[in-house]
Amino acid sequence: MAQANAGSELLQAALTVEAVVRAARVYAAEQVSWLAPALFTAPIRLCEQLPSPAAIDRYGRVYVNPRWIERLQARAETPKQLLAQVGFLLTHEVWHWLRAHSERAEAINAQPQVWNLAADMEINDYVPEGLALPDFGAEYPATLPSQFNLPDGHLAEWYYRRLLEQQQSQAQAGGGGQSQAQSGGGQSQASSGGGGQNQAQAGGGRQNQAPSGGGQSQAPSGGGGQGQNQAPSGGGGQSQAQAGGSGGGMNGSAGLWDEGSGVHGQARPWEISPNAPDTPALNDFDRQSLREEVAHRILQHQKDRGTMPAGWVRWAEEVLRPRVDWRKQLQRIVRGAISEGFGQRLDYSYRRPHRRAAYYAPLILPALQGERRPFVAVVVDTSGSISDTELSQALVEVRAVLEQLHTRVVVIPCDAVPYEAIKVFTRKDWEQARGRMRGGGGTDMPVGIRAAQSLTPPPDVIIVLTDGHTPFPAPPSKQEAPVIWGIWRYGNNEPPKPPCPPWRARDIVEIPIPRRVS
């Protein structure tokens, strides 16, 4: 047994870091075949300036610090164990990029370090079979939700909010004087209060020193989020790296790993130019293509073996079947309906000459006549089941769509009976229309549709805004204005919809309402 271990050590020592990384990529692609396209597409670059073991930029390029790989190399008992850990590092970084963590961070203006920790939690709650979390020592555990007393299976946005709440509660609890607390097996000290010096060493244990290329440097370090860590440096100098707290709280947000702009969206000094010829950048089209390919493979793997976590399957389904922007959908449908309505309201007539009739003499050509400005009727459900909040939100959203189309609009409130039509021309008219909405009784949208059809001139299209709890009439004839149903959807609850057939799916637009207001 001792001879076997000695042979493994010699084999690992003989491998260069570059060879280990390349072999780990091949090994990871074999273990998680559904991620192989992204693993082989993402360029890999060795970078000693990187404070964490691995990182990724927003252009899909993976950075690996060779000194951290050497540390894994020294601790691994077998070559397979080494490949499993380095392979997980690579898949971890690629997942940050595929899940668009940088864009999501920018959308909520997230703090880079706290977001990095939250994004790690989103990924690390599942370790594929054949791979392993990196073992940098007891003081460098990988970031897991359980370390912060949080459950698995949530998105980074959820973890980010929980971490900020923990951070805020700890700041409030440490408001006056000096305190000491045990966190995650190590000692945490914080001097707080009126203008004194604040110092915190969060979870994970004693001080350690992170691998560094020489000289003295200070930087946030890699993936686990532990206390203030210092690890033996490579060139005789001292390197100090801070990492985030564990053990059920966040003691000091300055101590988190930094995995680059591919995670939090902010460029870092070690990242190379997008136009670097030796390490080409990937664009958004490349990423979307890879996302779709990986998503296809995940769903196929789930179909064949049924071993994929629900969160990963859900991600794949959302990539391949993205939610439709209902505003763009409504705008597109209304444009098409208006075009069809123009065909009904514009016709040839000999009551006036063609404007170029002189060119065609002695032939007499007809001219087009009719109303050329679009006209839309909006039938609004004002029954007792609709709250003021829902009604206001629906009108605001639909107004934003119709304003872009520059249409004439008439709003018809309707519960069990239609009420007086309200003409709206300006934004102020929309605001006044809200105060003139009558209703509160039962629900019968067909009578509102008939009232809209009887308008003079007839509308090009009729939009019905309702929660769906109404009788549904037969679709209009070709001679009548087309009807579009704007059905309010509350959360994830499926709303009642017109039967298809005879209605078409293109005639129905779901308008999301955050929550049902009682």
Domain ranges of the chain: 2-172+200-206+245-282, 326-513
Residue 390, SS3?
helix
Residue 375, SS3?
strand
- Look at the pTM and tell me if it is higher than 0.85: no
pLDDT at 369: 61
Strand partners, 45: 63
d(CA 312, CA 464): 37
Instruction: Write out the chain's pLDDT in tens, 518 residues.
Output: 444 454 455 445 557 899 999 999 999 999 999 999 999 999 999 999 988 899 999 999 999 999 999 999 988 989 999 999 999 999 999 999 999 999 899 888 899 999 999 999 999 888 999 999 998 876 667 888 988 999 988 889 999 999 999 999 988 887 544 434 333 333 434 333 333 344 433 333 334 444 444 343 333 333 333 333 433 333 333 333 333 333 444 433 334 578 999 999 999 999 998 888 888 888 877 888 888 899 999 999 888 887 788 888 888 888 887 555 667 777 777 776 666 554 445 556 666 666 676 777 777 777 666 555 678 899 999 888 777 767 776 677 677 777 777 778 889 999 999 998 888 877 777 767 777 788 888 889 999 999 999 998 888 889 998 888 999 999 998 788 889 898 888 776 778 899 988 998 888 888 877 654 44
pLDDT at 117: 92
Contact 114, 255 (CB under 8 A): no
pLDDT at 493: 74
pLDDT at 257: 76
Strand 375-381 to 408-414 pairing:
parallel
Distance set, CA 484 to CA 421, 445, 476, 496 (Å): 18, 12, 11, 15
d(CA 513, CA 260): 36
CATH topology of domain 326-513: Rossmann fold (3.40.50)
pLDDT at 249: 44
Contact 424, 409 (CB under 8 A): yes
Tell me the DSSP string of 127-156.
--TT-------TTSPPP-GGGGT--SS--H
Closest CA to 284 of 39, 23, 97: 97
Q: At what angle do helices 2-14 and 79-98 cross, to 10 degrees?
A: 50
Backbone phi and psi for residue 163, each to the nearest 5 degrees, phi listed first? -65, -40
Q: Which two tokens stand for residue 439?
A: 């209703």
Task: Tally the C-alpha atoms within 13 A of residue 411's C-alpha that lie toward its C-beta.
Answer: 27
